[in-house]
Amino acid sequence: MRNTVKIIFLSLLTGVFFIACSKHKTAAMSDSNFANTINTSTPEEARQIALNPQLDCMNTNCSPGVGMLTASENSTAWMCTAFLIGEDIIATNSHCLPKKHDSCKDLVQVFFAGVNGNAAETMQCKDILQISNPQDTVSPDFAFFRTKNKSARAPLPLSNEGLKIDTDYEILKINPIAGSTLHGQFEKTTCHTIDRTALTPNYSNALSPTATVTKCEILHGNSGSPLLGVDQKVNGILQSTLTKNHENYGRWLKLTEKKYIAPLAVVTNFS
């Protein structure tokens, strides 16, 4: 994980990206991966829903660099959260992208609200730069892609300091609003990291590949939300959650002496 994301950091510094692979596979979306979905009758209907979402920014506290990702595949449309890390580079989860395509071109877009002097805009995906291949919902889950157009809005800077244990992090997320369309609303809240939970028993230091957070409400559609430290740099990306109703909760609970009660959420570490 550290070597993979290190390429992203070096690329941001040098202005050159290295594409990890030309063909990828992603883990199937499940209830524990919280992309918000709408099932339709036809692929065309799903595509139109993905192209016509609504994003609300209710106050000036909205981050101009955080947007609502929408996509469609077959007869399903869905939304996630995504964020800008360069003028034409966006970060999100791998499970937020269509899983049967080698490219995201004309399949994925990110909608940004008009805020802080920035006009509302849509950024269409051009090509995938790097993507993880998570084997389950607790493996590192991230994707970076380039967009067709460049944005003048400020990107979110990345941090390689890791996710410290027993620490509060600010999370910037797009919450879904129920209905027949993809409708999201920006929210800023705080999550708290805890170590050696039922979800991530190996989270024992700031450089662990994934971490566990709690004390924050997590909804379908929050996948891809950035976690920011006090320096307002992105330390990690929200990817999945575990509740008592999850089929693997009992198994995970037995893996650790610290039996924290769900709900818990998993974060990919950008260290």
**pLDDT value at 131 more than 50:** yes
Helix (H, G, I), strand (E, B) or coil at 15: coil
**pLDDT value at 137 more than 50:** yes
Convert 88-118 to b/e letters by CB count within 10 Å (16 or more is b): bbbbbbbbbbbeebebbeebbbbbbbebeeb
Distance CA 227, CA 248 (A): 25
Q: What is the pLDDT of residue 13?
A: 35
Residue 155: cis peptide before it, omega within 30 degrees of 0: no
Residues 216-235, mean pLDDT to the nearest whole number: 92
* 243 pLDDT tier (thresholds 50, 70, 90): low
Residues 224-241, mean pLDDT to the nearest whole number: 95
Residues 149-171, mean pLDDT to the nearest whole number: 96
* 245 pLDDT tier (thresholds 50, 70, 90): low
* 261 pLDDT tier (thresholds 50, 70, 90): low
Distance CA 168, CA 179 (A): 32
Q: Are strands 183-194 and 54-56 parallel, antiparallel or unpaired?
A: parallel
The structure's pTM equals: 0.83
CB–CB of 152/84 below 8 Å?
A: no
Q: What is the pLDDT of residue 259?
A: 53
**pLDDT value at 173 more than 90:** yes
